[in-house]
Structure 1
Amino acid sequence: MHLGVVIPRTGTHDPTDLAISAEKRGYDSVWMGELWGSSSVVKLSEIAAKTDEVELGTAIVNVFSRTPAVLAMTAATLDRVSNGRASLGVGTSTPTAVENVHGMPFDRPVRRSHETIEVIQRILGDDEPVTYEGERVSVSSVPPLDRDVSVYHAALGPANRRVVGRLCDGWMPHNIPFSGLNDAFEVVATSARERDRDPDKITIAPYVPAAVSEDRDEAYDAVRGHIAYYAGSADGYRNAIATEFPEQVDRVAEAWRAGDREDAATLVTDEMVHDLGVAGTPSEARDRLHEIVSETVIDRPLVTIPEQAADGIAEETIEALAAVSDA
C-alpha cells in the first residue's frame, strides 16, 4: 500500500524529525499543510535536504495567496532541490483563512482553482512561453519551467471535484465520509471521461484523520476534536460531513460556532469517527485503516494527525500505522 503522512505542527516535535522518522518507517510520502505560523514549502525544503527517497508534498497551499506563477516556481524549485520528489497539493482553503489572514476576497473559488491549476500545469510543462486569459487569472509570455510535478487538488463539492477530473493528477478530499467516497469520486471520473482522460490515472489520496493510543478513549477524543474543528470552521467541510451525517454535523457546527468547543467535540459520535477517521489502540487503528483502503477507491491514504492532540500521539500514531503499508 502507498501510505503518506501529513506532518502535524506541534510544540513538542519538530516536523523535520517526524518526517525523517516517517521515511525510516516506510511511509512513501510526507506532506505539510499551511495556514499560519510557518511556510510549508520552506519546511519541506529542509526535509528534502535530510531525507533520501520519501516524496514531498504540500497539503495544502491555497490558490489565493500565491499567484499561479509563484505556485509553479515553488513546485519546480522544491522538485529540483528534492531530486524529483515533489508534488503540489492545492485547494481553496476557507473564507476565514483567505479573507482574514490574507486580506483577499474569497471570490468564485471553483473558477479560481480551475484557472490557477491550468496555468500552473502549463508553466510547468509547456514548450513555449505561456499566455493565458481567464476570468480570474491572466498571464502573458511566462517562460516554461520544464518540470514534471504532480498537481493534487483538495476538492470537496461537486463543482470543484469536476476540476479534479478535468485537470489534476490527484484528488485530496477531507471530511467526505469514507462510506460515500466511491460515489463522490464518480463526479471526478465523469468529468475526466468528458475530457478524454482516464479516471484510473487520477490518484485518490484522502486525508485520514488518525489517532492511536493504548487508551482508546484518548484516541477517539483526538479525532472527535479534529472533526468538530472542521465542522465548525467552514461550510465546505460541514457540507462534506453532512452527506452522511446531516443532523449530527449541524449540532456539532452550531456548538463550535457558539464557542462551546468541548461540547462540539462531545457531539461527534463514534459512528462519525469511524466513517471520517481512524482511531483506537494500535491493532484497532491498523485494522480500520486497512479496511478503509480495501473497501474504497483510495490509492494513497494520507494519515493526518489531529493537531489538537499531536504532542501526545504523533509518534505513536506514525509508528503504529506504518505497518499498514506492508499489508
Structure 2
Amino acid sequence: MTIRWGMTVPLGGVSLTDHNAVYAALAQADFTDLWSAEVNGADAFTPLALAAAWQPRLRLGTAIASVYTRGPALLAMNAAALAEAAPGRFALGIGASSPVLVQDWNATRFVEPFRRTRDTLRFLRAALRGDTVDEVYDTFTIRRFRLDRPPSVPPPILLAALRPRMLRLAGAEADGTILNWLAATDVPRVLAEVGQRRPGFEVVARLFVCPTEDATHARALGRRLIASYLTVPAYAEFHRWLGREPVLGPMWQAWAAGDRRAAAAAVPDELVDALVLHGTPEVCRTKVRQYVAAGVDTPVIALLPTPELAAGGSAALATVIAQLGRSTGN
C-alpha cells in the first residue's frame, strides 16, 4: 500500500474560515489526508465538509465520530452526506470515545462500549449500502430505516481500537483500524491482535508531534497531555496491557488522589519522548516514518503548539507544514 500522510484538523488557533489556506498548504506539502478530531472544539464533519469543497484531491476521514453522541441513523446520514460531497475519498472512523465526552458532556449513558461499537459498525455497513435496516441489535433497535441519499461509493469504515477484543473486531469486520497514544515500538504488538490483514485493510495512527528543539517545552506539554489522556480508563487499561504499569503507576496514583500537578510530574522523560514526537521538523518526520516501518499505513500528525509557532504566526505555520510534508527531504 502506498504510504499516506495525514494531518489532524482543524488546527488550533486557526479559524475554520482560514483553513482554506491551511488545506492548500497541506496539499502543496504532499499531505494526502485530513483526519478530524472531535472532542470539545469543532465537530468531526464540518471541517471535512469545507475541505471537500476547497481541496478536491485530499482524502478525508473522521478519527473519530463516537457511536454514542449521534443516533445510528444520524451518524449514517452524516457519513453519507460527506461521502456524497467527496465520493471515493472519505473514510468513516468510529469508536466508543470516553465517559467524559459521552456522559458528562453529551448526557448519554456510556455502557457496553464493545457491543455498542460492534452494533453500530454492523448497522452502518448495511445503511451505507442503501439497505433498509429493520433489526434488533444487542444495544439498540432500528425500525425500517433507509437512507434517502445512499452514497454511490460507500465509505470504508475504520474502527478505533486499543485492546485485543476491539482490535480483533476491527480485523474481522471493519475496513481498518485507528490507533492512538502509542509508541512506534508498540505497533507490532497491537497489530498482532488484528490478525491476518485482509487486502485493503488500513492502519491509521494519530501521532502527537511537537516540532521544536526546545525539549523542555515539548516535555512539559507532553507530560500534561499524558496525564490528562492516559488517566482515561480505556487508555489506562491500554497501557497496562502494553506493560507500562511500573512506569505509569505513580501518575495514576497521584491523579486518583486529585493531585494533577504531581501526576504530570510523575511522567518520565523517556515515556514522553516515546509518545510525543519532538525535535526539528526533519527529526519529527523521521520519527513518524518509524511508525510506518512498524506497520502503520497512514500516520496522522496531531500538531502541537511550540514557541516558534506562537512567535511566528501564520508564516511559521506555513513553514512547519512544508517541513513536515511527506516528500520533504526525500
Normalised by the shorter chain, which TM-score bucket? Answer: 0.7 to 0.9
* Percent of aligned pairs with the same amino acid: 25
- 1:267 Cα deviation after fit: 2.8
- Aligned partners of 1:212 and 1:320 also within 8 Å: no
Residue of structure 2 in register with 1:73 after alignment: 77
- Aligned partners of 1:225 and 1:308 also within 8 Å: no
For the residues of structure 2 that align with 1:148 and 1:326, how far apart are their CA atoms?
36
1:93-108 map, 5 Å? 93-108=97-112
1:209-220 map, 5 Å? 209-220=208-219
Instruction: Classify the secondary structure of the residue corresponding to 1:132.
Output: strand
- 1:203 Cα deviation after fit: 0.5
Residue of structure 1 in register with 2:313 after alignment: none
Alignment partner for residue 111 of structure 1, among 99, 115, 127? 115
For the residues of structure 2 that align with 1:326 and 1:300, how far apart are their CA atoms?
19
TM-score, with structure 2 as normaliser:
0.86
- Aligned partners of 1:154 and 1:173 also within 8 Å: yes
Q: Are 1:140 and 2:143 an aligned pair?
A: yes
Instruction: Classify the secondary structure of the residue corresponding to 2:227.
Output: helix
- Aligned partners of 2:6 and 2:299 also within 8 Å: yes
Change (3 A) 1:122 1:181: same
Residue of structure 1 in register with 2:324 after alignment: 321
Structure 2 letter corresponding to 1:219: A
1:1-327 map, 5 Å? 1-12=3-14, 14=16, 16=19, 17-126=21-130, 128-144=131-147, 145-146=150-151, 147-189=153-195, 198-232=197-231, 234-242=232-240, 243-258=242-257, 260-294=259-293, 296-306=294-304, 312=310, 317-323=320-326, 327=330
Structure 2 letter corresponding to 1:178: A
- Aligned partners of 2:187 and 2:291 also within 8 Å: no
- 1:159 Cα deviation after fit: 1.6
- 1:50 Cα deviation after fit: 1.4
Change (3 A) 1:173 1:141: same
- 1:130 Cα deviation after fit: 2.1
Instruction: Classify the secondary structure of the residue corresponding to 2:121.
Output: helix
Instruction: Classify the secondary structure of the residue corresponding to 1:249.
Output: helix
- 1:235 Cα deviation after fit: 1.2
Structure 2 letter corresponding to 1:299: D
- Aligned partners of 1:216 and 1:281 also within 8 Å: no
Change (3 A) 1:254 1:323: same
- 1:302 Cα deviation after fit: 1.0
- Aligned partners of 1:8 and 1:305 also within 8 Å: no
Change (3 A) 1:93 1:310: farther
For the residues of structure 1 that align with 2:295 and 2:12, how far apart are their CA atoms?
31
For the residues of structure 2 that align with 1:317 and 1:272, how far apart are their CA atoms?
25
Report the RMSD for the aligned CA atoms in angstroms. Answer: 2.6
Deviations 1:87-146 (A, max 9, x none): 1111111111111111111110000000001101111115x4222221112213222524
Change (3 A) 1:325 1:207: farther
For the residues of structure 1 that align with 2:178 and 2:305, how far apart are their CA atoms?
18
Change (3 A) 1:183 1:253: same
Change (3 A) 1:107 1:159: same
Change (3 A) 1:260 1:206: same
Unmatched runs of 5 consecutive residues or more in structure 2 = 311-315
Change (3 A) 1:55 1:65: same
Q: Which has the higher helix share?
A: 1
Unmatched runs of 5 consecutive residues or more in structure 1 = none
